[in-house]
């Protein structure tokens, strides 16, 4: 700002403040409901022990002790139920706050409105099809919801550009993965979610970003989100492309399986779609799709090297 430094905080700083506020709110009930769950578990164990003593007192004919233990058992039961309810309410509050933060990022660009919600839904459908553990599914839900938070730090002139990005602009766009991870890294409770946020644009063949990881170097969390992210990007209208039909999208995704995308999550998402669990309606589909590697270069997650076109051709760099 001319005449002095700006007092307006950076967008990523504002989002980071929002994340911290979300966790401060959650921690009024001991943080994410996890401690409450543990307390409730201990309460259930205490209930069991108390019930055994209650039965023993009744068998021994000690009616006074039996009445006292019965009253305490009833109070403890209510306490455990209250703890469980508080944990459930606290978790719902936390997930709602996360969804709100992700929605704020999506709203920066009308073309990506609802993107984080859809990627989360597709990711969970993939995880369910792969029979992934409950704990992993919870991590997947939050990581997928927040996978694009780093875009809060990308300038609108790049994020909303109605056409191909220049090489320089694409390099800036690629920083949204590390920006997102850096925004959330100070929140220790989100440590397990960071790989999905930072690495969902990595590719099996090592041509992804930000680190050029290969194969199993890429965590499963990021590989699942990558498939969901690619499918949603292909089946929604964007400034640089019209939406593809799901069938066209799957042809492209199948062509990328084993190269850029993990074949197992790809097969899982296809199985879910073929069972009719994913329905996508588009007002108009204007663009036909080839299934060659050249056509696949339009798919989100592609690094600049993977998007190279024949000499003299225009480069189309995607940004989701």
From first CA to last CA, the distance across the chain in angstroms is 30
Compute the C-alpha angle 24/29/32, nearest 5°: 70
pLDDT of 125 reads 98
Q: Can you tell me the distance from the alpha carbon of 19 to that of 185, in angstroms, rounded to the nearest whole number?
A: 11
Q: pTM score > 0.95 for this model? A: no
pLDDT of 249 reads 96
Helix ranges (H only) for the chain are 11-26, 34-59, 63-106, 115-129, 134-145, 156-159, 167-174, 176-184, 194-198, 220-234, 246-256, 263-274, 293-296
pLDDT of 161 reads 86
CATH number listed for the domain at residues 111-320: 1.10.3210.10
The phi, psi pair for 257, rounded to 5°, reads -65, 130
pLDDT of 75 reads 63
Q: Can you tell me the distance from the alpha carbon of 72 to that of 78, in angstroms, rounded to the nearest whole number?
A: 10
Q: Can you tell me the distance from the alpha carbon of 168 to that of 172, in angstroms, rounded to the nearest whole number?
A: 7
Please list the rounded mean pLDDT of every run of 10 residues in the chain (320 residues). Answer: 46 53 48 47 53 54 56 62 71 73 73 87 98 96 93 89 89 96 88 96 97 97 98 88 92 96 98 94 44 38 34 39
Q: Can you tell me the distance from the alpha carbon of 135 to that of 34, in angstroms, rounded to the nearest whole number?
A: 12
């Amino acid at each position: 700002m001319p005449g002095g430094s700006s007092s307006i905080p950076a967008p990523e700083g504002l989002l980071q403040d929002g994340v911290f506020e979300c966790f401060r709110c959650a921690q009024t009930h001991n943080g994410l409901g996890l401690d409450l769950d543990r307390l409730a578990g201990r309460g259930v164990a205490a209930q069991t022990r108390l019930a055994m003593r209650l039965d023993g007192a009744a068998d021994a004919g000690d009616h006074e002790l039996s009445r006292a233990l019965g009253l305490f058992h009833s109070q403890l039961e209510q306490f455990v139920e209250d703890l469980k309810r508080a944990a459930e309410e606290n978790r719902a509050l936390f997930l709602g706050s996360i969804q709100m933060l992700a929605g704020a990022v999506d709203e920066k660009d009308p073309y990506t409105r609802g993107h984080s919600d859809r990627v989360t839904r597709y990711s969970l459908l993939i995880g369910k099809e792969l029979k992934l553990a409950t704990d992993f599914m919870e991590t997947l839900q939050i990581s997928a919801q927040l996978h694009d938070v780093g875009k809060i730090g990308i300038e609108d002139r790049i994020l909303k550009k109605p056409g191909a990005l220049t090489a320089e602009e694409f390099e800036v766009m690629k920083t949204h993965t590390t920006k997102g991870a850096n925004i959330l890294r100070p929140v220790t409770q989100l440590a397990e979610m960071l790989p999905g946020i930072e690495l969902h644009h990595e590719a099996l063949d090592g041509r992804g970003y930000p680190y050029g990881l290969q194969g199993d170097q890429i965590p499963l969390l990021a590989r699942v989100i990558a498939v969901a992210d690619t499918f949603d990007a292909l089946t929604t209208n964007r400034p640089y492309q019209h939406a593809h039909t799901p069938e066209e999208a799957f042809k492209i995704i199948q062509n990328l399986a084993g190269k850029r995308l993990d074949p197992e999550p790809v097969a899982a998402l296809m199985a879910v779609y073929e069972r009719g669990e994913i329905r996508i309606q588009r007002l108009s589909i204007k663009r036909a799709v080839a299934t060659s590697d050249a056509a696949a270069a339009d798919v989100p997650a592609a690094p600049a090297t993977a998007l190279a076109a024949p000499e003299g051709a225009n480069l189309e760099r995607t940004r989701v």
